[in-house]
Structure 1
Amino acid sequence: MPTSAIDAQDAAAIQAVTEGVAVCDRSFFGRIRVSDTDRIRFLHNQSTNDFQSLKPGQGCDTVMVTSTARTIDLVTAYVLEDAVLLLVSPNRREYIMQWLDRYIFFADKVQLTDVTAETATLSLIGPESHAIIEKLGAESILGQPYGSHVVVNGNLIIAVGSGLASPGYTLILPVFEKEKLWSQILELGAVELSDRAWDTLRILQGRPAPDAELTDDYNPLEVGLWQTISFNKGCYIGQETIARLNTYKGVKQNLWGIRLSGFAEIGSAIAIGDEKVGKLTSYTQTADGHFGLGYIRTKAGGVGLKVQVGETEGEVIAIPFVSHEYPSV
């Protein structure tokens, strides 16, 4: 069933993301605790980012990929004093637990614990989120790099980054503390953002999701997740393919936003004239109109390109969560 136009409450929350502050309950995301003495080395070898350069109190986004560099999930990692906490997509939690477990060998000192049921995740999103963070006692992370975090009151992790391209913070805490903190955040002026509005925002901003933009058909460079990839960290699963694509500028398709003239079915072909140049992967509708995400062949063009998506006209636009520039490495 297509996503229909959002209601007034969702529209107000999305506006708060731009002008004020919204709070979203992201507890439906999975949380995996990786502990024991080999945890950093292990995660360094299993995903695209450089874990060995991180210290406790730091974090990063990283991509779990197959041996041929196909995307499994976009994961946020927080390096704690005694563990690394992974925030994973809802529909990838069990798969990633099993996938990581497969790579733990007899001599490895690595423990995986699914802590999803006993923890909760909230995201504060918007330019006014800083004021709430200050009142929650985490003023020390204001202005710090993405993924930086502190532990407040012994069990509340507050981290820089909203999970979207908008400014904000991610809070991870014991589930029994969630209701109290949720009420406190609303009292401090945040507007509630529903799961549906979160999904609308992630499409508008271009955050890729498993089973849509993150599948066996695409690699992280095609998605545009350059910020999650270390090109000089050495060997990891999928590294050879990613290095080759980067060295030879071999990205054949890119993820873009598409402003649509009307409804379009997910999976629809994206075409220029009679030539198919891509596929629509996500669709939403807001008060401002129809919008989608889709992969388009690099040679076809980028921003400003006029396309046909199924029976609907569209125009390619940039999305803030991803980038298609080759960084200097």
Structure 2
Amino acid sequence: MIEELKQLQSGLGAEFAELSSIPVSFRNDAIAKQAVREGVAICDRSHWGRILVSDGDRLRFLHNQTTNDFQKLHPGEGSDTVFVTPTARTIDLVTAYVLEDAVLLLVSPQTCQKLIGWMDRYIFFADKVKLQDITSTTATFSLIGPQSDSLIRQIGCEALIDRPYATHQLYNFGDLEVRIAVGSGLVSKGYTLIVEASQAGSLWQELVKLGAVPLGDRVWEQLRIEQGRPVPGAELTEEYNPLEAGLWQTISFEKGCYIGQETIARLNTYKGVKLQLWGVRLNAPVVAGTAVMLGSEKIGKLTSYTQTETGHFGLAYIRTKAGGAGLQVQVGEASGELVAVPFVEYLESVEGEIK
């Protein structure tokens, strides 16, 4: 049970978000970040949503609903994809794992019911598609760090090492049955593990015994901002499209019609990406939502901010024509410099302009 997991985490010093089971910190933030750089950390992502899409038309349906190509995926494979509105505004970045008889979607926290409602609108009478929210009956952990291969090898899953992103397999680890997928959810090397809620505590305990360092949601948030992973409510909103968010790897430009496809194709064909997501290295704290200025001209907006052991850092959408990496800007009372972030893919034409 998830309550058992919470008790185990409490024993490791976990501090929880108010009225939730989300471990914000294990009072070891610096050690956890070091583990991400040099060892292996474990992050509880059970508050992320999990949706099971099943029945005969599941792949065709998701192919028509999101930006990536589902028709080319086979059981054991997966990919990141984006749900967008008809005008290509972003709803959520999700990871899809294709099973033998279903597709498992790992979605951002607090978007599960929104996405189920969104998809349900597009299921018509003849469509063979079923949606099931399995968030409460499952748990998700991420192993993050260069030593994650070593830990995966210890539990007998070496067949996944060096496999493509989102490749996944169901493994028996002692009495535990766990689905393990390549990819940590961040740019950092790692794996995502999905298990029944009743086995979550046992799996967590075993992974910690094998050397995984517990990592709280506060450090996850720092990492995702430093690496440039966009999230709903900040970088993924109805103000922005997935090309502006730099999510080029999630988009198929070869597949047929899907929701938002016409707008995305037009933006790509006519080089119409007017904004681009950048990291901003800052010299002082700044509130998300603050305008980014170049002299007296507003060129963008800060969408996320974090303070780390190395200083102040944020993410911002910047007008493409304003420049890129190395550009000196003003964000509120703080000075900043634009830097590339690894989760984002950049237009070659833009990179050429700013070198």
If the length of structure 2 is used for normalisation, what is the TM-score? 0.89
> How many pairs were matched up?
322
Q: Which residue is equivalent to 2:47? A: 28
Contact 2:66-2:82 at 8 Å conserved across structures: yes
* 8 Å CA contact 2:286, 2:331 repeated in 1: yes
The CA distance in 1 between the partners of 2:182 and 2:255, in whole Å, is 24
**Can you list the C-alpha shifts for 1:101-128, whole angstroms capped at 9, x where unaligned?**
1100000000000000000000000100
1:325 Cα deviation (Å)? Answer: 2.2
Tell me the CA shift for residue 137 of structure 1: 2.1
- What is residue 76 of structure 2 aligned with on the other side? 57
Kept in 1: contact 2:144–2:189 (CA 8 A): yes
Which runs of 5 or more residues in structure 1 are unaligned? 1-5
Q: 2 CA distance for matches of 1:236 and 1:53? A: 15
Q: Which amino acid aligns with 1:263?
A: P
| Alignment partner of 2:118 out of 96, 99, 106 | 99
Higher relative contact order (CA closer than 8 Å, sequence separation 6+): 1
Two-structure CA RMSD over aligned residues (Å): 1.2
The 1-side partners of 2:35 and 2:272 are apart by 40
The Cα shift of 1:219 comes to 0.2
How many angstroms does 1:83 deviate by? 0.4
Instruction: Give the superposition deviation at 1:195.
Output: 0.8
Look up the equivalent residue of 1:298 and give its one-letter code: T
Partner of 1:84: 103
- Pairing partner for 1:170 from 189, 192, 198: 192
Partner of 1:274: 296
Residue 236 of structure 1 corresponds to: 258
Give the match for residue 242 of structure 2. Answer: 220
Are 1:10 and 2:29 counterparts?
yes
Task: Give, in angstroms, the shift of residue 191 of structure 1.
Answer: 0.8
Correspondence list, 1:149-228, <5 A: 149-153=168-172, 155-228=177-250
Does residue 310 of the first structure (1) align with residue 340 of the second (2)?
A: no
Matched residues in 2 for 1:326 and 1:46: separation?
Answer: 28
Give TM-score scaled by structure 1 length: 0.96
Question: What CA deviation, in whole Å up to 9, does each residue of 1:142-177 have, x standing for no partner?
Answer: 110001001012841100000001110000010111
1:232 corresponds to which letter in structure 2? E
Counterpart of 1:149, as a letter, is H
| CA contact 1:91–1:210 (8 Å) conserved in 2 | no
> Would the alpha carbon gap of residues 304 and 8 (structure 1) be closer, same or farther in structure 2, given more than 3 Å must change?
farther
**One-letter amino acid matched to 1:271:** M
What is the Cα deviation at residue 326 of structure 1? 5.0
2:347 equivalent to 1:325: yes
Deviation at 1:7, TM superposition (A): 9.0
Structure 1 match to 2:145: 126
Deviation for aligned residue 1:8: 6.4
Moved over 3 A (4+): none
For 2:88, give the aligned amino acid: A
- Relative to 1, partners in 2 of residues 1:47 and 1:147: Cα closer, same or farther, differing over 3 Å? same
Question: Structure 1: how far apart are the matches of 2:309 and 2:94?
Answer: 30
